[in-house]
């Protein structure tokens, strides 16, 4: 079916057609909508999760930023540099690498240094 034919089908079935310019994408979207009518669409939890995953992440701290974190009674200082993060004289590729060095376990570096809250599913 042509792009115009697919759009007419959509309009008759669901109203105003999407502005897709790709016949293949419109075919896939129509197939999904028909299946969702029969078996049900996405549940609320899945929709919320997809929306969260699509939210852009905050930018990393700018070069020159100094961060301090107390962990087990010891203050740990890092400096953000053009090539990564400097901690105790060594250059690391990310805050997560530094957090792993400090704790011995895997951490979300920005979360460890207090730059963001952890997601409910993170």
Q: Which of 81, 49, 107 is closest to 115 using CA atoms?
A: 107
Tens of pLDDT, residue by residue over 4-44, are: 999 999 999 999 878 888 999 999 999 999 999 999 989 99
Alpha-carbon separation of residue 40 from 10, 43, 47 (angstroms): 18, 8, 13
Please report whether residue 71 resides in a domain.
Answer: yes
Tens of pLDDT, residue by residue over 66-98, are: 999 999 999 999 999 998 999 999 999 999 999
pLDDT at 58: 67
Please report whether residue 60 resides in a domain.
Answer: no
Do 71 and 48 belong together in one domain? no
Please report whether residue 118 resides in a domain.
Answer: no
pLDDT at 54: 66
Q: Give the domain extent around 24.
A: 3-53
């Amino acid at each position: 079916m042509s792009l115009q034919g697919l759009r007419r089908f959509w309009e008759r079935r669901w109203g105003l057609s999407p502005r897709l310019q790709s016949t293949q994408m419109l075919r896939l979207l129509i197939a999904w909508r028909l299946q969702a009518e029969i078996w049900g669409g996405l549940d609320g939890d899945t929709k919320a999760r997809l929306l969260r995953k699509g939210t852009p992440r905050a930018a990393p701290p700018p070069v020159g930023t100094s961060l301090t974190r107390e962990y087990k009674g010891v203050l740990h200082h890092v400096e953000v540099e053009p090539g990564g993060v400097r901690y105790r004289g060594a250059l690391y590729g990310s805050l997560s690498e530094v957090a792993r060095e400090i704790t011995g376990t895997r951490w979300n570096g920005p979360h460890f240094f207090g730059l963001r809250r952890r997601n409910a599913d993170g």
